Amino acid sequence: MPPLAPHPDRLLPADPTIREIARSLYKAVAEAPIYSPHGHVDAGLLLRNAHFSDPSELLITPDHYVLRLLHASGVRLEELGVSRRGLPSDAVGREVFRAFCANWHVFLGTPVSYWFESEFAEVFGVTEHPSAATSDAIYNQICEVLTTEAFRPRALFERFNIAVLATTDDPADDLGAHAALRKDDSFAGRVLPTFRADIYMTPDHPSWISKLGGLAAGSGIDTGTYSGLLAALRNRRAYFKDHGCTSTDAGTADAWAIPLDDADAQRLHAAGMAGTISTDEAVAYRRNMLYQFAKMSMEDGLVMQLHSGVIRSHHKPTLEEYGPDTGHDLPDAAAYTRPLQRVLNDFGTDPAFRLVLFTVDETVFSREIAPLAGFYPSVYVGAPWWFIDSPAAIDRFRAAATDSAGFYKTSGFIDDTRAFCSIPARHDMSRRVDAGYLARLVATHQLSEEHAHTVAQDLVAKIPKETFRL
């Protein structure tokens, strides 16, 4: 078996004519700075700038992409280092890594294998394919480089050429790490918070009341009433904006956004506080909050990201044993056109309002999101995300969305990752797939090569910067 060595033409179409065009397009953007307007890296990581300690803690345990397919193949989550019942895992890093390498075949053909090959080879210099036999050697090699200066978070940030990195943050967060990073003259990177207030929308969630308490403490505003909560959220949005935030994120079960009148909303808020709210009432409360969030975005100009249509924690026994984000959040059928009609009638043509729509149900790209973005100035087509942020799905996304929305009403790539070291591989993947897509349009004479170059370059800079108001 030849050594692990990602091919310079990987992901580019195989046809020689198209590949030649794609190469040229890709080459022009390959080294461009990375705009990462949506992700889950912790700002504290860059503030502390500590050495990463263990390859498995860095690459395996926190990545639900990896966990889920290993679990599906019979590996238990505790064998992968996942904390059980809140207790520290006693899994040994080397053994977790071996469980991953020994099951490498289950990832063949998936984006996980693609990212890991790029990351292993290009970030860590690994030259062997993962397997039970090579696991220890690869583990040792990564352990070793992690002790070097070049592999501390800030050095990687610079090496990865990240122009902007957005984090995801609770409204009650004091953004101390962000503030400290901005003040730190030794770090030139731009790290921005993102305002994510999902939990405050769900009065039947067990943590809702305690989260309201935290938000009250953070904002100095009583959140015991509905109007207080709205005021506290507005207060924190302003605080986030002062700390460089340009966008919010909302992850909801569905995209319905229907305003309640204040008295009804207050009544439901009180029922939530009293623990007497019904499921239907909680849904109505959540849908009103989504409407209010849109209204706030229209008022303060923070770009509203909406990621709807995921069923969270499908397997209750795993939730109880291992907690959330352990691989069993699952896609649901999505809808946007009807659910968002009220929001778009009220704010859809307001120049201050901007709404980026994401989905894990591919059918809505051509049926709903692209047509919405193809009429409403406020709406942008969010890049494929989570289950569909793969080479094949990104290509399908372009084919599905371009007809109605073109390129300039799409958001640019988002990596949505917790895996810091996978950021370059993910953005590189997107650039290659887009180069291939554009090259096919050129080779079939649907787009001039000159125009294709402009689009390819705009997709990695102008488009994300404008979409997210960076």
Site for its own copies in 348-367 (CB under 8 A): 348-349, 351, 360-363, 366-367
What is the DSSP-derived secondary structure letter of residue 383?
P
Question: Which of 443, 456, 459, 470 is in the footprint of its own copies by CB under 8 A?
Answer: 443
The least distance separating its own copies from the CB of residue 385, rounded to whole angstroms, comes to: 12
CB of 404 to its own copies, least distance (A): 6
Helices (H), 167-326: 176-183, 208-219, 226-242, 262-274, 279-300, 316-322
Q: Which one among 33, 125, 176, 377 touches its own copies, defined by CB under 8 A?
A: 377
**Under the criterion CB under 8 A, does residue 345 sit at the interface with its own copies?**
yes
Region of 275 on the Ramachandran plot (φ > 0 left; ψ -120 to 50 alpha; else beta)? left
Of 142, 175, 344, 435, the one binding its own copies (CB under 8 A) is: 344
CB of 427 to its own copies, least distance (A): 17
Q: Which alpha helices (H) appear in 53-92, and where do they start and end?
A: 55-59, 64-72
Exposed e or buried b per residue across 54-82, where buried means at least 16 C-beta atoms within 10 angstroms of its C-beta: bbbebbbbbbbbbbbbbbeeebebbbbbb
- Least Å distance, CB 110 to its own copies, is 5
Q: How far is the CB of 411 from its own copies (least distance, A)?
A: 14
Q: How far apart are CA 175 and CA 243, in angstroms?
A: 8
Binding residues for its own copies restricted to 3-22, rule: CB under 8 A:
6-7, 9-18
- Residue 233 or 433 having the CB closest to its own copies: 433
Cβ atoms of residues 21 and 439 within 8 Å: yes
- Going residue by residue from 105 to 134, which x/- string records binding to its own copies, judged by CB under 8 A? xxxxxxx-xx--------------x-----
CB of 336 to its own copies, least distance (A): 10
Within 26-133, strands assigned E span: 34-36
Judged by beta carbon, residue 164 or residue 364, the one nearer its own copies is 364
163/361 Cα distance (integer angstroms): 30
440 binds its own copies (CB under 8 A): yes
Is 72 a residue that touches its own copies (CB under 8 A)? Answer: yes
Query: Binding string to its own copies for residues 296 to 335, with x set by CB under 8 A, is what?
Result: ---------------x--xxxxx--------xx-xxxx-x
Is there binding between residue 85 and its own copies (CB under 8 A)? no
Is residue 454 within the footprint of its own copies (CB under 8 A)?
Answer: yes
How many residues line the site for its own copies (CB under 8 A)? 95
Please identify, using beta-carbon distances, which residue of 183 and 316 lies nearer to its own copies: 316
374 lies in the site for its own copies, by CB under 8 A: yes
Three-state SS for 309-365 is: CEECCCCHHHHHHHCCCCCCCEECCCCCCCCCHHHHHHHCCCCCCCEEEECCCCHHH
Q: Strand (E) positions, 362-408?
A: 379-381
Burial 341-357 (b: 16+ CB within 10 A, else e): ebbbebbbeeeebbbbb
Q: Tell me how far apart the alpha carbons of residues 452 and 458 are, in angstroms, rounded to a whole number.
A: 10
Q: What are phi and psi of 308, to 5 degrees?
A: -115, 170
Shortest Cβ distance from residue 322 to its own copies (Å)? 11
Shortest separation between residue 366's beta carbon and its own copies, angstroms: 6
